[in-house]
């Protein structure tokens, strides 16, 4: 199964995206939909990042329809990035596009690095609008960008995955944030692993796949 390039109407122009119309496991019905948010554009983050690609393949292998997209100002997406609410607005447009195509399927959100902030903020917005999320995965997430825990969705499972030797996101900051987070969640630490999961992408998939299968 190959992803199809699509164009989504975003808040400040068209957004470039890749969409996979998954037939589901053993060509049955797809089990859900997944939106994947990429890392910091200022540091070269795009939807083609290898961690994002791993997340997409993992969701695909679990029988989910997937969508990944470039924020404003990245790749062929129009506009200029603002490193904040603008990217969350873009993610919301992508989620609404995906939801319109599959109104009956549960939504899982993935976010890597800066995308963890985006996915978490989007999850909070969608929940306020009445969306019941299936799961939120925050991988090596930029948690310090989340200024208040009220941004987070509170009614879906939350999984934090943090490399123990992350050179971009301070692992201790994530551990401290997790310890203060009052909503139920799980924190999974990946030993001897840097921010971009060099040599550890299979470990990442092995952590996520069973959590998508229940």
DSSP letters, the chain, are ---EEEEEEETTEEEEEEEE----GGGS---EEEEEE---GGGT--TT-HHHHHHHHHHHHTTEEEEEEPPTTSTT--S---SSHHHHHHHHHHHHHHHHH-TTS-EEEEEETHHHHHHHHHHHHHHHTT---SEEEEES--GGG---GGGS-SSS-EEEEEETT-SSS-HHHHHHHHHH--S--EEEEETT--TT-TTTHHHHHHHHHHHH--
CATH number at residue 29: 3.40.50.1820
Residue 84 has pLDDT above 60, yes or no: yes
**For range 125-135, the mean pLDDT:** 95
Residue 18 has pLDDT above 80, yes or no: yes
* Separation of alpha carbons 165 and 197, rounded Å: 10
Q: What is the mean pLDDT of the chain?
A: 94
Q: Given this model, what pLDDT does residue 131 score?
A: 94
Indicate the number of domains in the chain. Answer: 1
Residue 42 pLDDT grade (very low, low, confident, very high; cuts 50, 70, 90) = confident
Residue 26 pLDDT grade (very low, low, confident, very high; cuts 50, 70, 90) = confident
Residue 148 has pLDDT above 70, yes or no: no
Residue 24 pLDDT grade (very low, low, confident, very high; cuts 50, 70, 90) = confident
**For range 10-24, the mean pLDDT:** 94
Residue 74 has pLDDT above 60, yes or no: yes
Residue 83 pLDDT grade (very low, low, confident, very high; cuts 50, 70, 90) = confident
Q: Given this model, what pLDDT does residue 19 score?
A: 98
Q: Given this model, what pLDDT does residue 213 score?
A: 84
Residue 166 has pLDDT above 60, yes or no: yes
Residue 149 pLDDT grade (very low, low, confident, very high; cuts 50, 70, 90) = low
Asked if residues 125 and 96 have their Cβ atoms less than 8 Å apart, the reply is no
Domain of 111 in residue numbering reads as 4-212
* Contacts of 11 by beta carbon, 8 Å cutoff, 6+ apart: 72, 86, 89, 90, 93
Q: Given this model, what pLDDT does residue 38 score?
A: 98
Q: Given this model, what pLDDT does residue 155 score?
A: 94
**For range 129-147, the mean pLDDT:** 95
Q: Given this model, what pLDDT does residue 150 score?
A: 60
Q: Given this model, what pLDDT does residue 66 score?
A: 98
């Amino acid at each position: 199964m190959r992803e199809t390039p699509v164009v989504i109407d975003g808040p400040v122009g068209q957004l470039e995206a890749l969409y996979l119309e998954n037939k589901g496991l053993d060509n049955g019905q797809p089990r859900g939909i997944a939106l994947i948010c990429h890392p910091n554009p200022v540091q070269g983050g795009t939807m083609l990042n290898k961690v994002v690609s791993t997340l997409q393949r993992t969701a695909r292998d679990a029988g989910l329809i997937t969508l990944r997209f470039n924020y404003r100002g990245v790749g062929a997406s129009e506009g200029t990035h603002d490193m904040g609410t603008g990217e969350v607005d873009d993610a919301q447009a992508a989620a609404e596009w995906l939801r319109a195509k599959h109104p009956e399927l549960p939504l899982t959100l993935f976010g890597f690095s800066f995308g963890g902030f985006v996915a978490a903020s989007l999850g909070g917005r969608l929940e306020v609008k009445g969306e019941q999320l299936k799961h939120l995965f925050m991988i090596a997430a930029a948690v310090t960008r989340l200024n208040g825990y009220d941004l987070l969705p509170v009614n879906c499972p939350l999984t934090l995955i943090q490399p123990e030797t992350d050179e971009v996101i301070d692992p201790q900051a994530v551990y401290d944030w997790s310890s203060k987070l009052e909503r139920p969640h799980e924190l999974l630490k990946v030993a001897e692993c840097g921010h971009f999961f060099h040599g550890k992408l299979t470990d990442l998939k092995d952590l996520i796949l069973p959590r998508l299968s229940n």
